[in-house]
Structure 1
Amino acid sequence: MTRSILVEHDGSVVRITFNRPSRLNALTTEMLTLTADAVEAAGHDTGVRAVVLGGAGRAFSAGADLAGGKAGTLPGTDTIDAANRLTLALRRIPQPVLAAVGGPAVGVGCSLALAADVTVARESAYFLLAFAKVGLMPDGGATVLVPAAVGRARATRMAMLGERVPASLAAQWGLITHAIPDGAFDGEVERLTRQLAEGPTAAFAQTKRALNASSLAQLEDALAVEREGQAQLFTTADFAEGVAAFREKRHPEFSGK
């Protein structure tokens, strides 16, 4: 069976890759848990100086798996808990984390990409908070990560209108650090990875700690609010309709209930 998460140790760099390319790296609870395990392990390894998070194939991640590995399986609070643990791990480990977004970053996949310290994307990639399209609210820390980067108005636009934000526009907004021409993407990811891995590790750790305190101090509170709200939304008719429409590839007809 193909492993859903790949973890590679490359000298002082740990590379973690979502590995369900046939499903555009749609995330299961198990994948989120395994990724959090790998990130936390890297954080405790004094030989690790940088972490790279990416996705195999055409996407970074299509978000939570709504099709499910088993008939009728849907994301639940266990999925939220696993995603929250991963978001916190990405922010808490002392090493810099680079998210290499080679394709769409959607839903919680978008949240996780933005939880990195340096987020680089191919120009052909895009970022999408697609939660409202299935009757849900943003999670994975997006309600803090996005407005901290681009302000409340743009965060509301992404969360409620569900518009795609192309990588070039995301870079202009300050949502990500770099939008890179597709042909130069792999080389630039490697250059930035090496710059981080060869940089002043202790200074990076203290910088990250200070930035967390100044711009993401409400992250844990927001994760708790997101979990509470999402747990309620999982029980609504709109969520059921949103998932049905997603699976049937049609436009949802929400009732507001």
Structure 2
Amino acid sequence: MTGTNEDHVLHRIDNGVAWITLNRPEAMNAVTPDQRERVIALLAEASADPGVRAVVVTATGKGFCAGADLRGGSTPAGERVAGDVARMIRLGAQRLITAVLDCEKPVLAAVNGTAAGIGAHLALACDLVIAAEPARFIEVFVRRGLVPDGGGAYLLPRLVGPQKAKELMFFGDAVPAVEAERLGLVNLVVPAEELEATARAWAERLAQGPTRALAMTKQLVNASLDGDRAAALAAEATAQEINMTTADANEGVAGFVERRTPKYLGR
């Protein structure tokens, strides 16, 4: 593998949007441990940077992410010790997916091509998913005799229900972008040549929104899938209390009262 880690994960900030781009097209962007760590770090930076108000995760070439790079793994050969695999999953794939779910800015996936295994879960963990027409989503684990990792058995049932999730995971069939949209895995499918422009338009619209309100809305929706009604309503009330102290909330109310379009600053 040639090139630096920065070469393999491109990063730029444009109009309040952080673009995180997997850049190993020759490997269909199969993600290495170094790439994974850089993506996790960039998502943490996006959360902490007030100049970043939305994130796009995308890739170069024909593939979005073909999964984990099993050929370039850093695990030394030798006898496996009990606990090694579970630790590797916790510190690896699960941290990557958690970084997306916990990012305090809305994260949009612009899926340019095949998203397989952890690559599919990386996309599905994002808050919004735009897919190019050639894109496909594949729960590839069963083809390798493996159990899904990277939160797949957590994410998929919440998106498509348990029966469909099991069908996708049991058979490992490729799901074309149009079918993925029908199932609810994808928000929008566009021609390949329109993917970047559409992702930019959506992300910049998010970046002009009330950033803290969006962060708390994301947290509420994600948490609602795991808790009961009482917990969800209590969390909602707390979020409302916190959000009403922000400048953007005051600006939104003032804009309504004054019959003008509010201008949000992300504070």
Band of TM-score, shorter chain? 0.7 to 0.9
SS at match of 1:25: coil
* Residue identity in the other structure for 2:164: R
Question: Which of 29, 36, 49 is the matching residue for 1:25?
Answer: 29
Alignment TM-score, normalising by the size of structure 2: 0.76
Given that 2:47 and 2:105 are in contact with CA atoms closer than 8 Å, whether structure 1 keeps it comes out as: yes
Quote the RMSD (CA, aligned, Å). 2.2
Q: Is the alpha carbon distance of 1:95 and 1:71 closer, same or farther for their aligned partners in structure 2, counting shifts above 3 Å?
A: closer
Give the alignment of 1:115-194 within 5 angstroms: 115-194=125-204
Q: Hey, what's the Cα distance between the residues in 2 that align with 1:211 and 1:130?
A: 28
User: Would you say the 8 A contact 1:90–1:115 is kept in 2?
Assistant: yes
CA shift in 2, pair 1:159/1:194, >3 Å:
same
SS at match of 2:173: coil
Equivalence for 2:11: 7
- Paired with 1:72 and 1:36, the residues of 2 have a C-alpha distance of 23
Aligned-partner Cα distance in 1 for 2:121–2:184: 15
Measured against aligned partners, the alpha-carbon deviations of 1:60-118 in whole angstroms (never above 9, x if no partner) come to: 10001122267987x95436522211211111122100011000000000001000000
Whichever residue aligns with residue 15 of structure 2, its letter is G
Rounded to whole Å, the distance in 2 between the matches of 1:188 and 1:154 is: 29
- What CA distance in whole angstroms lies between the structure 2 residues aligned with 1:123 and 1:80? 33
1:210-249 matches, within 5 Å, as 210-216=220-226
Letter in 2 for 1:118: L
Shift of 1:198: 1.0
Distance 1:184 1:128 in 2: 23
TM, length-normalised to structure 1? 0.79
Structure 1: distance between partners of 2:221 and 2:211 = 15
**Letter of the aligned partner of 1:48 in structure 2?**
V
Partners of 2:30 and 2:46 in 1: how far apart? 23
Matches within 5 A, 1:88-99: 88-99=98-109
Question: Letter of the aligned partner of 2:111 in structure 1?
Answer: V
Q: Report if the CA contact (8 A) 1:148-1:216 is conserved.
A: no
User: Cα deviation per residue 1:191-223 (whole Å; 9 max; x = unaligned)?
Assistant: 111111111212211110111111256xxxxxx
Q: How many residues align?
A: 218
Unaligned runs of 5+ in 2: 78-83, 228-267
Percent of pairs with identical residues: 39
What are structure 1's unaligned runs of at least 5 residues? 218-257
> Could you tell me which residue of structure 1 aligns to residue 71 of structure 2?
67
